[in-house]
Amino acid sequence: MNSPIAPAAPTEITELSVNTIKFLAIDAIEAAKSGHPGLPMGAADVAFVLWSRYLRHDPTDPHWRDRDRFILSPGHGSGLLYALLHLAGYDLPLEEIKRFRQWGSKTPGHPEVHLTPGVEVTTGPLGQGFANGVGMAMAAKMAEARLPGLFHHRIWALVSDGDVMEGVAYEAASLAGHLKLGNLVYIYDDNRITLDGSIDEAFSEDVARRFEAMGWRTQHIDGHDHAQIAAAYDAAIAQDEKPTLILARTHIGHGAPNKHDTHKVHGEPLGKDEVQATRKALGWPEETFVVPDAVRAHFAARAKVMFEARAQWSAHEQRWLADHADRAELYRSLCERAVPGDLLETLLAKLPPTNDATRALAGSIEQMVAAVMPSLVGGDADLGGSTKTPIKDSGKVSAGHFEGRNLRFGIREHAMGSVANGIALYGMFVPFTATFLTFSDYMRPPIRLAGLSNTPVVHVFTHDSVFLGEDGPTHQSVEHVSALRLIPNVDVWRPADSAECAAAWAAAATRRDGPTELILSRQKVEVLPGDATVRGRHAARGGYVLVREESGAAELVILSTGSEVSVAVEAARRLHAEDGLQVRVVSMPCLEVFERQDAAYRATVIPAGAKRASFEAGRTGLWWRYLGLDGLALGVDGFGASAPGPVLGDKYGLTADHVTAHLRAWLRGS
């Protein structure tokens, strides 16, 4: 089902098309007085050959399942991608090119998926797009293994000096080589220039040998010689044993008489004088945003071929479904990333009844989710025995074997988060990752990008507080929950028992507009009071009344999460029994979901007029939005220490005795 590779265009059309790409980017950047013209000018040749002859895509159906994916990893060169999308026929009118980097345009400074048709991933931080592509290649292999004979596409990317220098790309490249992802083809825009000057000032390694050592196939070419470019692409798609890195030696700002091969063309507009000199050198008209008719016709002809290729694949899809009735339901489920509508009720009906660590409780619930959700796949950073996340009764993904659902990321948290984003953006799968909460620091960039990109990824973080104990402050998370809560569009769940773990996993499995963080304990927690099924339903709203005052209006409301909720319940019991106070305990497993509830509901949970206190074994700063200036925030605002967990609980005032005493003294003092 491969699409035909187009023959080389006549030299006149080729030169005209390449210059059109260059000047669409130049003119957009000049109009915005902001941008990076060097990369679009230098990479126009390798991009033109790919997009006009090799790339399998249909601009009329940007989400065609059997399309090739193209990633512009150095997102600062977005002018190149926007020019290509416009010429190829995507819904990106010339007017949008003219509005480059302006409010409300579809041409932001760095490409954003879900905003611009044809953009596959949100790229900006260097190395992220590189790793996303590895995730997409893994997802494609997993799809092919589950649905043999249906798909045959590749993941292409343009990567830069900055990408290959960033550590996240190195981790991802190592994983790609290990898994022998032969469906991955990366073009390295090797222009030897970075924003501040020559790459030689900071980078002198042999990139090809490094990638070869990681199991990649490499090839050196002149990035402006179309015959060499095409030969490299032919060689890349002729084999399927290794990922390919094509080292294309290019010249940044190619065609600019005075700024060619200088860092001055990297991160700022050419400027009026240099633009005029470039127009003269390349024989380009004075008019801006010019697209010659011959260029439009050339790209339109290719678009017609691709439209027909997609139609042929659609017919093939129907025949495949008829011939593989046993896999048709799986295909539908994967395409929809389907989840049963009664998932939460199903989980609540089979809750683990015992006191246990929430990592263990959530791990048991995850198995139930996996049983009814074929699209759920995932793995850990060599910590499966600790995070309790491997999917039972399923194999491990390895080179040549992609049928399994357990991904072995190795000790590569930086890449793990970014690869998971790529898997999710590919479609068909909902990936999860797992590691200790303290290592969420390594994953913050991809978590942020998942929030920005509305990407459905689940991140499981265990060992969530100073109660970790003897491993000490390097592994005890005190600020990490707050740090994750600060990222927009990220839902952070810190459940307190099995019912809340069920609510958390149900929310994570069904969310499609952003990432979900599951924050889980290593130490055991107590089963909370009340009917577990009812509590699970209430917990799904992010915050709910767990223990209600016995009579009259609440005088004190204690807000808590995770393993601290049972301590808050005991403190409330003592304050009522010994002091006669009317105390309400509110469990808040997910502040973000609670904030999305209507104001009336939130007011019924946290009533006006009562004193308010919070209790969580971490930084206290974010709780003040609920407490007001006269509230009390109990937590840990410094680093932990190395000692057994119960000792730390006593030293940091996290026991029922200490919490009760703090609350009593505070209430009396106020």
208 Cβ neighbours under 8 A, 6+ residues apart: 218, 220, 245, 247
Dihedral sign (CA 597, 598, 599, 604)? negative
Name beta bridge partners: 197: 194
Q: How far apart are CA 338 and CA 330, in angstroms?
A: 10
Nearest to 431 by CA among 132, 214, 166: 132
CATH class of 532-669: alpha beta
Nearest to 357 by CA among 380, 389, 405: 389
342 Cβ neighbours under 8 A, 6+ residues apart: none
Q: How far apart are CA 332 and CA 324, in angstroms?
A: 12
Q: What is the pLDDT of residues 516-572, one digit of tens each?
A: 999 999 999 999 999 999 999 999 999 999 999 999 899 999 999 999 999 999 999
**Which pLDDT score is estimated for 317?**
98
Is-contact 389 377, C-beta < 8 A?
A: no
Is-contact 118 59, C-beta < 8 A?
A: yes
475 Cβ neighbours under 8 A, 6+ residues apart: 436, 438, 463, 468
Is-contact 413 442, C-beta < 8 A?
A: yes
Which residue type is seen at 224? Answer: H
Is-contact 294 271, C-beta < 8 A?
A: no
Q: How far apart are CA 232 and CA 229, in angstroms?
A: 5
Q: How far apart are CA 163 and CA 129, in angstroms?
A: 8
Q: How far apart are CA 623 and CA 246, in angstroms?
A: 51
User: Cα dist. 294→58, 60, 238, 481 in Å?
Assistant: 20, 21, 31, 56
pTM above 0.85, yes or no: yes
Within 10 Å of residue 661's Cβ, how many Cβ atoms? 14
Which residue type is seen at 11? Answer: T
Within 10 Å of residue 535's Cβ, how many Cβ atoms? 25
* Domain residue spans of the chain: 11-311, 343-525, 532-669
Q: In this structure, what are the phi and psi dihedrals at residue 227, rounded to the nearest 5 degrees?
A: -65, -40
Task: Return the HEC string of 136-183.
Answer: HHHHHHHHHHHCCCCCCCCEEEEEEHHHHHCHHHHHHHHHHHHCCCCC
CA 630, chain centre distance (Å): 39
Q: In this structure, what are the phi and psi dihedrals at residue 305, rounded to the nearest 5 degrees?
A: -60, -40
Nearest to 392 by CA among 412, 381, 416, 376: 376
Is 532-669 in the same CATH topology as 343-525? yes
Q: Which residues of 269-382 form beta strands (DSSP E)?
A: 356-357, 376-380
**Which pLDDT score is estimated for 670?**
63
343-525 CATH fold: Rossmann fold (3.40.50)
**Which pLDDT score is estimated for 4?**
78
301 Cβ neighbours under 8 A, 6+ residues apart: none
3-state secondary structure of 350: coil
Q: What is the dihedral of CA 170, 176, 178, 180, to 10 degrees?
A: -150
Nearest to 27 by CA among 251, 276, 299: 276
The counts of H helices and E strands in the chain are 26, 20
3-state secondary structure of 119: coil
Is-contact 18 24, C-beta < 8 A?
A: no
Is-contact 513 456, C-beta < 8 A?
A: yes
Q: In this structure, what are the phi and psi dihedrals at residue 156, rounded to the nearest 5 degrees?
A: -110, 150
State the DSSP H helix or E strand holding residue 614, giving kind and residue range, or none if neither.
Answer: strand 611-615
Copy the structure tokens of residue 426. 């590919």
Domain 11-311 has CATH 3.40.630.40: no
**Which pLDDT score is estimated for 2?**
56
Q: How far apart are CA 105 and CA 32, in angstroms?
A: 12
**Which pLDDT score is estimated for 281?**
97
Residues of the chain with pLDDT under 50: none
Q: How far apart are CA 648 and CA 292, in angstroms?
A: 72
Catalytic residues: 413
User: Cα dist. 663→59, 484, 578 in Å?
Assistant: 63, 28, 13
Copy the structure tokens of residue 353. 């009844």
**Which pLDDT score is estimated for 223?**
98
**Which pLDDT score is estimated for 354?**
84
**Which pLDDT score is estimated for 353?**
77
